[in-house]
Amino acid sequence: MKFKSVYWILLLVGLIMGLILALQFRVTREIIRNAPPQERTAALYQELEESRENREVLQRRVYELRDRLDQSVAGPELANMKVELDRVRQLAGMTTIEGPGVEVTLNDNPNVLPPGQDPNNFVLHDEDVLSVLNELKAAGARAVAINDQRIISTTEVRCIGPTILLNKNQRLSPPFVISALGDPDTLTNSLKMINGVVDSLQLWGIQVDIKKVDKVKIPAYSGTLTYNYAKPK
């Protein structure tokens, strides 16, 4: 009986060992079968080395750009950029500017009109205001405002009944006070030329008052900027 028990134990152990060996053989065979060939391993190693080299090149480029940025911030280049930015903002009308100039006040004809006269000929229109603005700019005015509304390159002046529409959102009514920054004598003489813009307006009784001032303040443009075609880069 003891011999039979040992026999069955040995048989069971043998079967278990056989199953273990068979399972290990199968797993090993699958690993060998699925393992990449030697060429593939070499290619992957080469790609890894190239990626490392590219990373080092990009890292050096980052360091170079950081050094240039630090130099720009600390050096005179940034100061020059700020000066240029301030100059452009001033030319664009985005800053308040002060200096000598003139103040031109325009108002409708206050007199009673003769019978049969067209009243539209004796009141201010957008073309009248534009004529004064163009004359001032031609005479070298550095900045212009109407009733404290800055005139810039995109400003439109349009008639809306007895008022004018400025910068598409400011509705102004007479009297119109036009402030212009520039040489007071030059600006005044340009308006008072014989048969010039003032003579043409006064012919219809339009009131024109020109005053030279030592210090005129032109406010910054307060509206919004919109572009139909221009796009920032």
For 144-193, the pLDDT digits (tens) are 999 999 988 878 888 777 788 887 778 888 899 999 999 999 999 999 99
- Decide if pLDDT at 96 tops 80: yes
For the record, the structure tokens of 41 come out as 């391993």
- Decide if pLDDT at 92 tops 70: yes
- Decide if pLDDT at 200 tops 50: yes
Q: Characterise 61 by phi-psi region: left (phi > 0), alpha (psi -120 to 50), beta (else).
A: alpha
Q: Are 138 and 190 in contact (CB under 8 A)?
A: yes
pLDDT of residue 51: 72
pLDDT of residue 2: 40
What is the number of residues in the chain? 233
Alpha-helical regions (H) of 75-230: 76-91, 126-138, 184-191, 197-202
Hunting for tokens 């940025």 — which residue is that?
69
The mean pLDDT of 58-78, rounded to a whole number, is 72
Q: Which candidate, 187, 181, 186, 191, places its Cα nearest to that of 129?
A: 191
pLDDT of residue 115: 75
Average pLDDT, the chain: 78
pLDDT of residue 230: 62
Task: List Cβ neighbours of 203 (8 Å cut-off, separation of 6 or more).
Answer: none
The mean pLDDT of 25-52, rounded to a whole number, is 63
Enter the pTM of the model: 0.62
For the record, the structure tokens of 119 come out as 């009243």
pLDDT of residue 63: 76
**CA–CA separation, 149 and 178 (whole Å):** 9
Task: List Cβ neighbours of 217 (8 Å cut-off, separation of 6 or more).
Answer: 96, 97, 98, 179
Q: Which range is most confident: 69-83, 86-100, 150-164, 186-200?
A: 186-200
**CA–CA separation, 143 and 91 (whole Å):** 8
More confident residue, 95 or 46: 95
Task: List Cβ neighbours of 134 (8 Å cut-off, separation of 6 or more).
Answer: none
Amino acid at the residue 157: V
Residue 193 is classified by DSSP as: S
Indicate the pLDDT class of residue 4, thresholds 50, 70 and 90. Answer: very low
